[in-house]
C-alpha cells in the first residue's frame, strides 16, 4: 500500500512538472498567438474550433480512465476475496490431510496391535496344543504298534497335526514380521522372499538389498515390509508373471536426509495404473501407508510388459 502511494505521488509530480514546463514554453514562444495565426489559415475548415474538440476528448478520456479505474478496483477486490477464500480452503485441505494421515497411522497401529494379539494367540494356543497332540500321538503310535488299523488312523491324525503346524507357522509369518525389531529389515525381507520363492517356484525372483538397518525405524520398516508383502501377493494372484525384480535400498537424498526406496518390477500382463489404484484395496492401502509417512508412491507400466511399483519413505 505504501509503495502504491509513493508511486502515485511520483506520477502526480511528473504531471505537474510537465504542465509547468508547457506553460513556460507556451509563454516564451507565444503559442496562443501563433495558434490563432495558424488557425486563421484554415478558417474554411474551422480549424480554430478544434481546441474545443480536443478539450472534449480530454474530458472523455478522463471519464473513461476513471471508469476503468473503478472497474479495476472492483476486480482487484474480488480477486482478493477469492484469494482469501482459496487460502482458507487450502488450509482446511491441509488440516484434513494431516488428520487423514494421523487417522491412517492410528488405524495401522490398531491393525498391527490386532495382528500381534492374533499372532500371540496362534503361537501360545495353537502351537502348544498342536505340540501336545504331536507328543500324545507319538506315544499312542508306540502303544498301538500291534494294531495296524489304529496305527494307520494315528498316522493320519499325525499328518493333520503337522499340516496345521505348518499352516500356523505360515500365518504367523504373514501376520507378524518375525524379528523386525530385533534382527532388522534386511533379515525379515530375505525371509519373506525365500518363503515366497518356495511357495511360487515357477516365478523367477531376483532381488537386490542394500539396506542400512540402523537408519530404518520400526514404523518405516513395517510399512516397507507390508507394502512388499502386498505387492508380491498381487503379482502371484493377478500378474501372470514369469519374473520379478526387487530393489530395496537406503540412500542419501540430501546430506542430512536419508530415504528408503522399494522398486518391484514384473513382466506380467500389466495394468492400467489409474484404474487399478482405485479398484484394488491392497494398492490403496499401500499408497495410504506410504503417504502417512510423508512418502511417495508410484504405479506405472513396465516396458515392454509388466508393472512397476515404486515407493520411497523418508527416514529422518
Half-sphere exposure of residue 156: CA atoms within 13 angstroms, side-chain side:
6
Provide the grid cell at 57. Answer: 476528448
pLDDT greater than 70 at residue 4: no
Share of the chain above pLDDT 70, in %: 80
Asked whether 305 and 256 are in contact (CB, 8 A), the reply is no
- Architecture of the domain defined by 184-314: 2-Layer Sandwich (3.30)
Residue 283's contacts (CB-CB under 8 Å, 6 or more residues apart) are 230, 234, 276, 277, 299
Asked whether 244 and 235 are in contact (CB, 8 A), the reply is yes
**pLDDT tens digits along 178-189:** 677 778 888 889
pLDDT greater than 90 at residue 169: no
Per-residue pLDDT band for 13 (boundaries 50, 70, 90) equals confident
**pLDDT tens digits along 105-126:** 777 677 767 766 676 666 666 6
β pairing state of 204-210 and 243-254? parallel
For residue 236, the 8-state DSSP code is I
- How far is the first Cα of the chain from the last one, in angstroms, to the nearest whole number? 42
pLDDT greater than 90 at residue 191: no
Q: Please give the C-alpha separations between residue 311 and each of 9, 16, 219, 249, in angstroms, as whole numbers.
A: 57, 66, 15, 11
Give the span between the Cα atoms of 212 and 186, in whole angstroms. Answer: 8
Question: Residue ranges of the domains in the chain?
Answer: 2-97, 102-174, 184-314
Query: In sequence order, what DSSP letters do the residues of 98-165 get, joined into one string?
Result: HHHHHHHHHHHHHHHHHHHHHHHHIIIIIIHHHHHHHHHHHHHHHHTTT-HHHHHHHHHHHHHHHHHH
Q: What is the pLDDT of residue 266?
A: 92
pTM of the model: 0.57
Torsion of CA 18, 23, 25, 26, to 10 degrees: 130
Give the span between the Cα atoms of 98 and 291, in whole angstroms. Answer: 10
Amino acid at each position: 500500500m505504501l509503495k502504491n502511494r509513493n508511486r502515485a505521488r511520483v506520477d502526480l509530480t511528473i504531471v505537474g512538472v510537465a504542465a509547468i514546463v508547457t506553460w513556460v514554453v507556451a509563454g516564451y514562444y507565444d503559442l496562443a498567438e501563433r495558434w490563432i495565426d495558424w488557425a486563421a489559415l484554415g478558417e474554411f475548415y474551422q480549424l480554430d474550433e478544434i481546441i474545443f474538440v480536443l478539450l472534449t476528448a480530454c474530458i472523455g478520456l478522463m471519464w473513461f480512465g476513471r471508469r476503468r479505474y473503478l472497474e479495476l478496483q472492483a476486480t482487484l477486490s474480488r480477486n482478493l476475496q477469492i484469494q482469501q477464500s482459496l487460502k482458507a480452503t487450502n488450509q482446511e485441505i491441509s488440516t484434513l490431510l494431516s488428520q487423514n494421515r494421523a487417522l491412517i497411522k492410528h488405524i495401522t497401529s490398531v491393525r498391527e496391535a490386532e495382528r500381534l494379539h492374533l499372532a500371540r494367540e496362534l503361537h501360545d494356543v495353537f502351537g502348544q496344543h498342536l505340540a501336545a497332540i504331536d507328543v500324545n500321538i507319538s506315544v499312542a503310535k508306540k502303544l498301538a504298534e500291534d494294531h495296524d488299523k489304529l496305527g494307520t488312523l494315528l498316522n493320519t491324525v499325525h499328518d493333520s497335526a503337522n499340516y496345521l503346524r505348518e499352516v500356523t507357522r505360515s500365518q504367523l509369518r504373514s501376520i507378524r514380521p518375525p524379528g523386525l525389531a530385533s534382527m532388522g529389515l534386511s533379515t525379515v525381507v530375505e525371509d519373506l522372499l525365500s518363503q515366497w520363492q518356495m511357495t511360487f517356484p515357477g516365478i523367477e525372483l531376483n532381488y537386490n538389498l542394500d539396506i542400512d538397518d540402523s537408519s530404518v525405524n520400526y514404523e518405516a520398516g513395517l510399512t516397507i515390509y507390508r507394502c512388499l508383502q502386498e505387492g508380491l501377493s498381487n503379482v502371484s494372484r493377478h500378474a501372470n508373471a514369469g519374473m520379478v525384480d526387487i530393489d530395496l535400498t537406503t540412500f542419501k537424498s540430501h546430506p542430512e536426509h536419508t530415504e528408503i526406496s522399494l522398486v518391484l518390477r514384473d513382466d506380467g500382463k500389466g495394468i492400467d495404473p489409474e484404474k487399478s489404484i482405485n479398484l484394488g484395496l491392497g494398492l490403496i492401502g499401500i499408497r495410504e501407508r506410504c503417504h502417512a509417512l510423508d512418502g511417495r508412491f508410484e504405479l506405472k507400466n513396465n516396458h515392454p510388459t509388466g508393472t512397476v511399483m515404486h515407493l520411497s519413505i523418508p527416514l529422518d
